[in-house]
Structure 1
Amino acid sequence: MPTMPGLVSVKTPANAPPLRVSVPDTQQQQPPRTPMKKTPSSTPSRSKPSPGRSAKKDSPGVSSSAAAVPDVDDPSLDNPDLGPFLLKLARDAIASGEGPNKALDYAIRATKSFERCCAAAAPPVPGGSDGGPVLDLAMSLHVLAAIYCSLGRFDEAVPPLERAIKLARDAIASGEGPNKALDYAIRATKSFERCCAAAAPPVPGGSDGGPVLDLAMSLHVLAAIYCSLGRFDEAVPPLERAIKVPDPARGPDHSLAAFSGHMQLGDTLSMLGQIDRSIACYEEGLKIQIQTLGETDPRVGETCRYLAEAYVQAMQFNKAEELCKKTLEIHRAHSEPASLEEAADRRLMAIICEAKGDYENALEHLVLASMAMIASGQESEVASIDVSIGNIYMSLCRFDEAVFSYQKALTVFKSSKGETHPTVASVFVRLAELYHRTGKLRESKSYCENALRIYNKPVPGTTVEEIAGGLTEISAIYESVDEPEEALKLLQKSMKLLEDKPGQQSAIAGLEARMGVMYYTLGRYEDARNAFESAVTKLRAAGEKSAFFGVVLNQMGLACVQLFKIDEAGELFEEARGILEQERGPCDQDTLGVYSNLAATYDAMGRIEDAIEILEQVLKLREEKLGTANPDFEDEKKRLAELLKEAGRSRNYKAKSLQNLIDPNARPLKKEASGKKWPGLGFKF
């Protein structure tokens, strides 16, 4: 998924480069392309003394400020052993009841000492804690903030805590270690929580919302660190809390905090495969952004496109098209004609149109996007669009034009990226598929082998997702030329590449489902059932309720039938029926196939009345809505007649044995045999 606009901190997969975010001492730096105007951060006014402290009279001969601030020019502060000693004195002063003012003096001196040690010594101080003076400085800042809070000086507690958050971010950016950053962030979050609990009204002179916005920011950072560690489940609770902290009605700072929280939570849920919940978070974030900025702001357009891409991933193409059109209108109103933003929108619109089978419109969008990229001198992007144009030409069976587009892109990729780059391999795969479709199997296999040579020895910088995707496409070609064993090897390799990657569980489930189909065609029914079961488990965990899930349940049921696990098969067919009726409707071919399989299963289980009821429903649908020309109609009619005759002859129905119902000479199904009836029982794959 592309970079989300306007986030304070975004999801970071475990293998991604370190999160590079920084927070200046007084104001948080605004990230690029932020769709909102401000980020929730403290302002310099927070360091102003509160009215309560200003009203205090100074002690005779000594001002209050002089008593609170030690001599920071003291050369002894350069001693690396002084900081830990002063920090211990500060803690002891609090524990012994000596007084928070004395503890504050020690804590300020300790903090200054650690700051000097951090500036002077890049490597860790011998004998220091893991991370040297950096971790000690973070601890000192937390102690200092806690003492300020104990004195009721909450506004002065905020800057040290913000510095602690900055240390957490810098620890990730420098590669120092996310575990250390996690410790900083947890401590800062707890401190902000105490400040919020102790100071319900906003601090006078502070930014609108006081420490509330800083708590939200701290929760965002904490969640981002959990994501960088691959602990996405643990990132969800902080984000769920973060979206409840700000109140968008209190101004743009609160609106941005709420927007960022919803979008970051959506990203995290997406990495967990919970697409529906993820989209719901994006929708709420977009709603908040529109309320704050209006419907035509360019930053709203960026978020609309982001949400449209999420809809594409969820295969909700109508909603994706609606949002993409809105994005295109916004960018055309705010950008120059044929801008890069408009080109990106048109490429997304082409993907949506292609998925809906509207190839002519998809081609039109791609041509316009290509013209914009050519005008901007984006040679590599033009080549990528040429590949997409080739895909459309192939779908339209305009094979000569498709070959020309692919070859043009291939020439650019070889010259600009090198002959072993994965983009070159991806074009080889497209050419292999094209030549397979035109019956030139020798050329097709040659291009497959060329692509495999690149994927087997990837150049540095190649992502595992690129390799896995390429191997999966090649496996489909091998499967179609009746080389299932080779196709299985490629799928297994692809799955192994993805198994440790966060956010890839749904993709792995899809691979396992394909492997299950191939195992089934080879007659390896136990392996097929295991593959389907693993896929179903992953899809259930992700909350999947799509038509694809229903199809996988149906396929697993067929494998169970072959293993004579008829009760399990019946449960799977029933669940598949419920999902497909909801997602596709009763007239869809996949739904009708499940009806037929369920009727055959009920027949085998002795539930003849249930089988008759389902077959009557299927025949009624065909006669009234689908027509009777389908060859399955006559078969189903004969099966129903036999069942009715048998039911009328004897109510003491004896269950048939699966051994007799399933044709022992039935040949394994091939991929293109989908929808054909099993002899003797009527099961459909």
Structure 2
Amino acid sequence: MPGLKSPPDAPPLRITVSEPPSQNPPRTPNKKPPSPSPSRSKASPARSAKKPPPDSPNPDDSSLDNPDLGPFLLKLARDTIASGEGPSKALDYAIRAAKSFERCAVEGEPSLDLAMSLHVLAAIYCSLGRFDEAVPVLERAIQVPDVETGPDHALAAFSGHMQLGDTYSMLGQVEKSIGCYEEGLKIQIQALGETDARVGETCRYLAEAHVQAMQFDKAEELCKKTLEIHHAHSEPASLEEAADRRLMALVCEAKGDYEAALEQLVLASMAMIANGQENEVAAIDVSIGNIYMSLCRFDEAVFSYQKALTVFKSSKGDNHPQVASVFVRLADLYHRTGKLRESKSYCENALRIFSKPLPGTTAEEIAGGLTEISAIYESVDEPEEALKLLQKAMKLLEDKPGQQSTIAGIEARMGVMLYILGRYEEARKSFDSAVSKLRASGERKSAFFGVVLNQMGLACVQLFKIDEAGELFEEARAILEQECGPCHQDTLGVYSNLAATYDAMGRVEDAIEILEYVLKLREEKLGIANPDFEDEKNRLAELLKEAGRSRNRKAKSLENLIDPNSKRTAKKEGTKKWGFRI
């Protein structure tokens, strides 16, 4: 699935300490938004909660009532961070500063100093990897400003919502993250109007978050708004327009509109050429190659990849991870065109680079490359090798904050490999872990989540956990009907699995109803040439013979078919074994 990638030369995450608010209106934060592919900056690992004593003497609690103490402590926190002494010492100063501002605040009047100190405190918690502790601090911070009071308060409220959204993103809580960004955007529009350039930046920020959550329609709407705003404020072929078009291309590709995606990428490439951004042009060439490959225009795809490869080798060196990423794309292309020797050669070249990464190469880059290569090994029927690569990718990401969705995707892939290898208990555990992470991250309504539920159900069938499998298939059916429609191949596969499970549970009538519905769909909308049609027809004939009746040609809708309160008992003997579908 396509994801966002931050530029490889992006600086690491740093604690930013706000200066006292100026009279300027709200500005968009100058950082990259959360992304589906592994692209967020690294945070410092969690450290001990025990705080070392600060160099200067700590004032006692009674002295916190002094109105001069809060600014002094906040300055100490800033100076400690700037000196590189570490965030643990700065944390003590920031906590005391926030307490002092809280005590000295005039009742009923919002204190911008308090809001600013809470933002600093939350940033320090995040730098220590203590994101759960940052959340209540930021929730308190966004309650302090009064947006109606003026631009300073609007800035504080906007910044608080965006910082809280970033924190939720690092915790993998995508829905809450998007909710915070949306609130921040509303405040910014209220303060600046809908056509301000900074509103355009925030719209793009929010659009990338929607892409991460696979909410492509909302992302497309925001991309269009961003393009309109930047057209009004920027020169033609600006860098801002190029960034907008690359994001729009990503959305179009995800929705299967490859021609529109190609158009956007060509326009973005022209803008980058006009601005002399050679490496960015090469990165766009890789994306163009991906689109050509999706359109089966393989010669053009090879040309685009080779162009990018030449630029990356000359500007970054032969062992740069971006060179390896192009090797992976070429390996995939040659695999699709049946040139397996060339495909394997490119895989080995990419693995050689990833095994000895250059300084500055992130774990996310390496894990993403290993995951892509594993998909190629899976396609050539080497599941054990694919599983080893996925396990390496998991190990690289397991301690990284903000990677829950990526890890869940890797665990789901590992589950499939384990299932293929016949290690069903391990497969079920891997799927279960992926499902838990996807539920927590707010992706429980996505088509991908429905597919993972179906795969976990298949593992349960192999372990004879029929009741659990039935529940998983039912949940998968509801999600895939909503997200993909009843005629989609994934939805039809779940129907078939659910019918087989109902038969195993003794719910023969429910199984018959589902198969009649599926056959009606195939006959009226999909055609009967598919080999699954005959298989399903034969299954239905067996069940009807057992039930002593003939096929009902007026199949009912599935809306009221599945009764979760059904008290029917499962058959213990004589259950037919049907083929389940992955």
Q: Does 1:200 align with 2:79?
A: no
Q: What's 1:346 paired with? A: 245
User: For residue 15 of structure 2, what is the aligned residue in structure 1?
Assistant: 19
How many pairs were matched up? 535
Paired residues of 1:435 and 1:441 also in contact (CA < 8 A): yes
* Partner deviation per Cα, 1:367-396 (whole Å, 9 max, x = no partner): 222222222221111111111122122222
Asked if residue 655 in structure 1 is aligned to residue 562 in structure 2, the reply is no
Counterpart code for 1:434: L
Cα distance in 1 for residues equivalent to 2:61 and 2:21: 19
Q: Alpha-carbon deviation of 1:270?
A: 1.2
Distance 1:167 1:661, change over 3 A: farther
Are the aligned partners of 1:585 and 1:591 in contact in 2 as well (CA < 8 Å)? yes
C-alpha change, 1:547 and 1:348, in structure 2 (3 Å) is same
What is the match of residue 506 of structure 1?
A: 405
Question: Are the counterparts in 2 of residues 587 and 621 from structure 1 also a CA contact under 8 Å?
Answer: yes
Is the 2:18–2:116 contact (alpha carbons within 8 Å) kept by the matching residues of 1?
no
Q: 1:654 to 1:590 in 2, by over 3 A?
A: closer
Q: Distance in 2 between matches of 1:526 and 1:32?
A: 57
Distance 1:654 1:520, change over 3 A: closer
Looking at structure 2, the residues matched to 653 and 165 of structure 1 have their Cα atoms a distance apart, in angstroms, of 67
Q: Secondary structure at the match of 2:548?
A: helix
Q: Which runs of 5+ in 2 are unaligned?
A: 30-51, 550-567
Q: Does 1:480 align with 2:476?
A: no
Offset of residue 636 of structure 1? 2.3
User: Please, which of 8, 27, 31 is the counterpart of residue 34 of structure 1?
Assistant: 27
Quote how far apart the aligned CAs of 1:574 are. 2.1
Change in CA separation of 1:514 and 1:322 when aligned onto 2, cut-off 3 Å: same
Match of 2:41 in 1: none
The answer on whether the counterparts of 1:185 and 1:222 sit within 8 Å (CA) in structure 2 is: yes
Distance 1:341 1:32 in 2: 21
State how far apart, in whole Å, the 1-side matches of 2:293 and 2:430 are.
32
Letter in 1 for 2:571: A
RMSD across aligned C-alpha pairs, in angstroms?
2.6
Equivalent residue number for residue 95 of structure 1: none
Contact 2:279 2:312 (C-alpha < 8 Å) held by counterparts: yes
Q: Is the 8 A contact 1:561 1:569 kept in 2?
A: yes
- Of 78, 87, 103, the residue aligned with 1:169 is 78
Residue 355 of structure 1, CA deviation: 1.6
Aligned to 2:35: none
1:389 pairs with one of 249, 268, 288: 288
TM-score w.r.t. the length of structure 2 is: 0.86
Q: 1:293 to 1:469 in 2, by over 3 A?
A: same
Aligned pairs (5 A) from 1:119-198 = 130-133=53-56, 136=57, 139-140=58-59, 144-146=63-65, 148=66, 157=67, 159-196=68-105
- Go from structure 1 to structure 2 and tell me whether the alpha carbon gap of 1:20 and 1:221 turns closer, same or farther (over 3 Å shift): closer
Q: Distance in 2 between matches of 1:375 and 1:475?
A: 37
Q: 1:29 to 1:474 in 2, by over 3 A?
A: farther
Structure-2 separation of matches of 1:453 and 1:547:
35
CA distance in 1, matches of 2:24, 2:425: 53
Deviation for aligned residue 1:504: 0.8
Q: 2:532 aligns with which of 619, 623, 632?
A: 632
- The alpha-carbon deviation at position 626 of structure 1 amounts to 3.9
Q: What's the offset of the Cα at 1:365?
A: 1.8
SS state at 2:165 partner: helix
CA distance in 2 between counterparts of 1:334 and 1:485 reads 54
* Residue-by-residue CA offset, 1:573-597 (whole Å, 9 max, x unaligned): 2222232233333333222222221
How far 1:631 sits from its partner (Å)?
Answer: 3.1
Identity %: 79
**Alignment correspondent of 1:683:** 580
Which among 170, 194, 198 is matched to residue 295 of structure 1? 194
Q: TM-score, normalised by structure 1?
A: 0.74
Residue identity matched to 2:118: L
Does 1:319 find its partner at 2:218?
A: yes
Matched, 1:644 2:544: yes
Q: Which amino acid aligns with 2:295?
A: L
C-alpha deviation, 1:244, in angstroms = 2.0
Distance in 2, Cα, partners of 1:579 & 1:425? 37
- Counterpart CA distance in 2 for 1:280 and 1:582 is 22
Q: Highest CA radius of gyration, 1 or 2?
A: 1
Kept in 1: contact 2:64–2:103 (CA 8 A): no
Whether contact under 8 Å (1:240, 1:265) holds in the other structure is: yes
Matches of 1:292 and 1:22, distance apart in 2? 20
Alignment check: 8 A CA contact 1:422 1:455 kept: yes
**Does residue 532 in structure 1 map to residue 455 in structure 2?**
no
CA distance in 1, matches of 2:178, 2:569: 51
Partners in 2 of 1:32 and 1:501 — Cα distance? Answer: 35
Describe the superposition over 1:449-492 as per-residue Cα deviations: whole angstroms up to 9, x where unpaired: 11111100111100000000001111111111111111111100
Alpha-carbon distance in structure 2 between the residues aligned to 1:216 and 1:313 = 29
> CA offsets per residue over residues 127-160 of structure 1, 9 Å max, x none?
xx74423xx3xx34976542x3xxxxxxxx1x53
1:384-533 alignment runs, 5 A limit = 384-533=283-432
Does structure 1 conserve the Cα–Cα contact (< 8 Å) formed by 2:428 and 2:460? yes
**Structure 1 residues 235, 463: closer, same or farther in 2, change over 3 A?**
same
Q: CA contact under 8 A between 1:239 and 1:261: conserved in structure 2?
A: yes
Unaligned runs of 5+ residues in structure 1 are 4-14, 37-128, 149-156, 203-208, 663-680
Residues 141 and 160, structure 1, Cα contact 8 Å, conserved in 2: no
Counterpart of 1:266, as a letter, is G
Q: 1:177 to 1:603 in 2, by over 3 A?
A: same
Pick from 248, 259, 279: which aligns with 2:158?
259
Q: Output the CA distance in 2 between the equivalents of 1:239 and 1:21.
A: 14
Mapped contact 1:647–1:653 kept (Cα < 8 A): no
Shift of 1:318: 1.6
In the superposition, relative to structure 1, how do residues 502 and 562 fare at CA in structure 2: closer, same or farther (>3 Å)?
A: same
Q: CA deviation at 1:399?
A: 1.9
Deviation track 1:295-347 (CA, whole Å, cap 9, x = no partner) reads: 11000000011111111111111211111111111111111111111111111
Counterpart secondary structure, 1:523: coil
Q: 1:265 to 1:193 in 2, by over 3 A?
A: same
Q: Does 1:243 align with 2:142?
A: yes
For 2:271 and 2:23, locate their aligned partners in 1 and report how far apart those are by CA, in whole Å: 29
C-alpha separation between the residues in 2 aligned to 1:217 and 1:20? 11
Question: 1:661 aligns to what SS in structure 2?
Answer: coil
Q: Which residue identity lines up with residue 283 of structure 1 in the other structure?
A: E
Question: Is residue 604–residue 657 contact of structure 1 (8 Å, CA) maintained in 2?
Answer: no
- Distance change in 2, residues 1:270/1:437 (3 Å): same
Partner SS, residue 245 of structure 1: coil
Answer yes or no: is the 8 Å Cα contact 1:304–1:324 preserved in 2.
yes
CA distance in 2, matches of 1:367, 1:454: 30
Q: Residue 656 of structure 1: CA displacement?
A: 5.7
